């Protein structure tokens, strides 16, 4: 495996192996000195053409715990703002000696394009509405630990609620959850669903309330305020009334159910209840697990000789 661009490049076995590797990274992160020399001398460059604090910090922390060198490249401080093309940017930085690029870009497919211009590994940290594979992996890891499901998600029912249409997180997560055997239901007003769901291994509902007692995982997506301008939602208040997680809705979830959110949260919109008070909330675990999962991905691509063998 050379690049991580999309979840559907991975088999279910690949996902399981990455999650097992993540167990090690969690152990490393818990040591008095949470740093191992595995990727000494490797150079990891984050290349973010779109704002993100948490994902970039998470990758940065992950690379440092494995002793890789890190470099950050942001659009505002770069010659992209002076008109340099994406290809020139990549080739210039790659000439400094780069082993992996962590790329976020507003255009779907940009990471895939970049693979043609450099020999470095490319990790997709979010491209347009397309994919965000490390988010899906960290969410799988969080469910695996939160519900103690090491062998897969057979029989689990996951609802993904919110702006599915514009969400790369939803696209990656649907594929990953389904690959591990979960039953996935998308919950959203029709305007926030993709025009076609052909080929998606999902069910669709517009009624969150009737689903709640049956869920093992309630996955909330951020409702982007700019969608108001596109007239896809009448008002945030109406969205909140129908799909927001209130204390009353939380009380109707089964006691073991997990509540997840990729962040950043809109309090008072999709998250009305105080997430700190929700017993099932694993939102901060998602953030912690994000570092460990990204360590596993970096080690897989750069440190394992390109291949993770099956344990004998």
Residue 267 annotated in active site = no
| Under rule CB under 8 A, residue 311 binds another protein | yes
Among 7, 10, 19, 39, interactor with another protein by CB under 8 A: 39
The CA-atom distances, in angstroms, between 68 and each of 60, 107, 235 are: 9, 28, 46
Quick one: 20 or 203, whose CB is closer to another protein? Answer: 20
Three-state secondary-structure class, residue 244: coil
| Under rule CB under 8 A, residue 31 binds another protein | yes
| Under rule CB under 8 A, residue 150 binds another protein | no
Residue 132 annotated in active site = yes
Helix (H) or strand (E) holding 286: helix 283-302
CA-nearest of 120, 33, 63 to 296 is 63
CB of 18 to another protein, least distance (A): 11
Interaction mask 248-287, another protein, x per CB under 8 A: ----------------------------------------
| Under rule CB under 8 A, residue 306 binds another protein | yes
Contact 126, 108 (CB under 8 A): no
The CA-atom distances, in angstroms, between 8 and each of 12, 176, 178 are: 9, 8, 11
DSSP state of 5: -
Using the contact rule CB under 8 A, the part of the chain among 30-38, 68-76, 81-89, 150-158 near another protein is 30-38
DSSP string, 160-172: EES--TT-HHHHH
Among 24, 64, 249, 252, interactor with another protein by CB under 8 A: 24
Provide the token pair at 145.
């630990």
The CA-atom distances, in angstroms, between 222 and each of 168, 244, 259 are: 12, 10, 13
| Under rule CB under 8 A, residue 310 binds another protein | yes
Footprint on residues 61-120 left by another protein (CB under 8 A): 66
Calpha distance 19→141 (Å, rounded): 6
Quick one: 44 or 253, whose CB is closer to another protein? Answer: 44
Residue 116 annotated in active site = no
CA-nearest of 180, 254, 173 to 221 is 173
Among 1, 9, 14, 20, interactor with another protein by CB under 8 A: 20
CB of 35 to another protein, least distance (A): 7
Residue 55 annotated in active site = yes
| Under rule CB under 8 A, residue 309 binds another protein | yes
- The pair phi, psi for residue 132, each rounded to 5°, is -150, 75
Residue 191 annotated in active site = no
> Which is the catalytic residue, given 31, 35, 54, 225?
54
Exposure string (b/e) for 238-275, b if CB count within 10 Å is 16 or more? ebbeebbbeeebbeebeeebbbbbbbeebeebbbbbeb
> Which is the catalytic residue, given 16, 130, 132, 168?
132
| Under rule CB under 8 A, residue 231 binds another protein | no
Calpha distance 187→185 (Å, rounded): 6
| Under rule CB under 8 A, residue 308 binds another protein | yes
Catalytic annotation, residues: 54-55, 82, 104, 132
Q: Which residues in this chain contact another protein in the complex, by CB under 8 A?
A: 20-21, 23-24, 27-28, 31-33, 35-39, 66, 299, 302-312
């Amino acid at each position: 495996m050379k690049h991580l661009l999309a979840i559907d490049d991975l088999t279910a076995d690949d996902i399981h192996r990455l999650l097992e590797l993540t167990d090690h990274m969690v152990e490393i992160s818990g040591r008095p000195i949470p740093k191992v020399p595995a990727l000494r001398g490797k150079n990891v460059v984050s290349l973010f053409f779109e704002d993100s604090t948490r994902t970039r910090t998470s990758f940065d922390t992950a690379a440092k715990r494995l002793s890789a060198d890190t470099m950050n490249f942001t659009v505002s401080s770069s010659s992209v703002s002076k008109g340099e093309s994406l290809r020139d940017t990549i080739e210039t930085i790659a000439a400094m000696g780069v082993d992996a690029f962590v790329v976020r870009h507003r255009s779907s497919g940009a990471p895939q394009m970049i693979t043609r211009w450099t020999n470095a590994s490319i990790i997709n940290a979010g491209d347009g509405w397309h994919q965000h594979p490390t988010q899906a992996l960290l969410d799988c890891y969080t469910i695996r630990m939160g519900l103690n499901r090491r062998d897969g998600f057979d029989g689990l029912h996951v609802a993904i609620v919110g702006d599915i249409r514009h969400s790369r997180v939803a696209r990656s997560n649907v594929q990953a959850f389904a690959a591990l055997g979960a039953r996935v239901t998308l919950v959203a007003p029709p305007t926030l669903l993709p025009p076609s769901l052909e080929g998606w291994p999902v069910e669709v509902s517009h009624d969150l309330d009737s689903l709640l007692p049956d869920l093992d995982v309630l996955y909330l997506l951020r409702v982007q305020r700019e969608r108001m301008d596109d007239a896809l939602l009448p008002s945030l208040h109406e969205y909140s009334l129908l799909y927001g997680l209130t204390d009353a809705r939380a009380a109707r979830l089964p006691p073991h159910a997990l509540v997840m959110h990729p962040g950043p949260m809109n309090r008072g919109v999709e998250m009305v209840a105080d997430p700190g008070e929700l017993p099932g909330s694993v939102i901060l675990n998602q953030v912690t697990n994000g570092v460990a999962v990204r360590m596993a991905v970096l080690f897989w691509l750069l440190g394992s000789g390109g291949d993770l063998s099956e344990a004998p």
